[in-house]
């Protein structure tokens, strides 16, 4: 009987030690995962962090223009047929993410002008293409996206995705060098200061989410202004407001 008790005590000691070791190892893995996420967030220094306020501003522009939030494919096709949405055309300066549905490679005319302009300016500077990852979406598509990505904007309300109105595009940020990212940020900084775009840098998909104001069309006809190509490194420096003037009327 004594030997039986000793065996039981020994078994409990061994299994208890194993369980403790397992819990300790699990806790250590969780702790390291938290530290890695914290480090990645600490190293994330975008100029345009996504925010509730930015979503409100994007929707305010949609309301100002009295644009509909596109509900389904029927409404999408009707807007294409009327010329309210135009196709985004690949070029030497612009490529399109191959997985993007061809039926959604469309946007408003002034947004397409913006995409053409920024991609050409980027190509002139770096001799590389910008990639378009997303453009117009329907409510149906946004609802599906929301189910798989809780960080995606909702399909309704004051903070609904501005992709639903066809005025917004996502340009890929992943793969860009630090210099290329800074160039993009300063280009967008200047456009934002003029009230022509409302940008965000999305961390999950590593892209520049850019809503283009309807005012861009009028501005484009009378201006030829781009940000400095070699801004200082720090994104908060006041010198970011400097611009280089090209040809054309002021």
Higher pLDDT: 14 or 221? It is 221
Q: Which two tokens stand for residue 54?
A: 């930015």
- Answer whether 175's CB lies under 8 Å from 184's CB: no
- The pLDDT score that the predictor gives to residue 234 is 41
Residue among 187, 185, 191 at smallest CA distance from 235: 185
Euclidean distance between CA atoms 200 and 187, whole angstroms:
13
pTM for the model: 0.73
Q: Is the pLDDT of residue 128 over 70?
A: yes
- Answer whether 140's CB lies under 8 Å from 75's CB: no
Residue among 61, 76, 71 at smallest CA distance from 168: 61
pLDDT digits (tens, 9 = 90+) for 66-95: 999 999 999 999 999 999 999 999 999 999
pLDDT digits (tens, 9 = 90+) for 151-205: 666 566 787 899 999 999 999 999 999 999 999 999 999 999 999 999 999 877 7
Q: Is the pLDDT of residue 44 over 80?
A: no
pLDDT digits (tens, 9 = 90+) for 96-105: 999 999 999 9
Work out the pLDDT band at 42, boundaries 50, 70, 90. very low
Work out the pLDDT band at 147, boundaries 50, 70, 90. low
């Amino acid at each position: 009987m004594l030997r039986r008790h000793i065996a039981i005590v020994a078994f409990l000691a061994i299994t208890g030690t194993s369980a403790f070791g397992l819990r300790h190892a699990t806790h250590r893995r969780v702790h390291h995962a938290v530290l890695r996420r914290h480090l990645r967030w600490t190293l994330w220094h975008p100029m345009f962090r996504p925010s509730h306020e930015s979503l409100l501003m994007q929707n305010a522009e949609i309301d100002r223009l009295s644009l509909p939030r596109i509900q389904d494919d029927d409404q999408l096709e009707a807007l294409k047929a009327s010329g309210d949405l135009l196709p985004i055309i690949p070029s030497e300066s612009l490529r399109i993410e191959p997985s993007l549905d061809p039926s959604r490679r469309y946007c408003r005319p002034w947004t397409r002008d913006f995409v053409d302009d920024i991609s050409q300016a980027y190509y002139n500077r770096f001799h590389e293409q910008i990639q378009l990852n997303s453009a117009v979406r329907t409510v149906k598509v946004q609802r599906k996206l929301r189910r798989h990505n809780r960080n995606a904007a909702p399909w309704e309300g004051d903070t609904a995705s501005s992709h639903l109105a066809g005025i917004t595009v996502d340009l890929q940020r992943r793969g860009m060098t630090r210099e290329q990212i800074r160039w993009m940020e300063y280009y967008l900084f200047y456009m934002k200061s003029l009230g022509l775009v409302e940008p965000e840098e999305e961390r999950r998909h590593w892209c520049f989410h850019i809503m283009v104001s309807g005012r861009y069309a009028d501005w484009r006809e009378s201006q030829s202004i781009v940000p400095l190509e070699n801004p200082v490194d720090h994104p908060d420096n006041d010198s970011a407001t400097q611009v280089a003037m090209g040809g054309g009327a002021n």
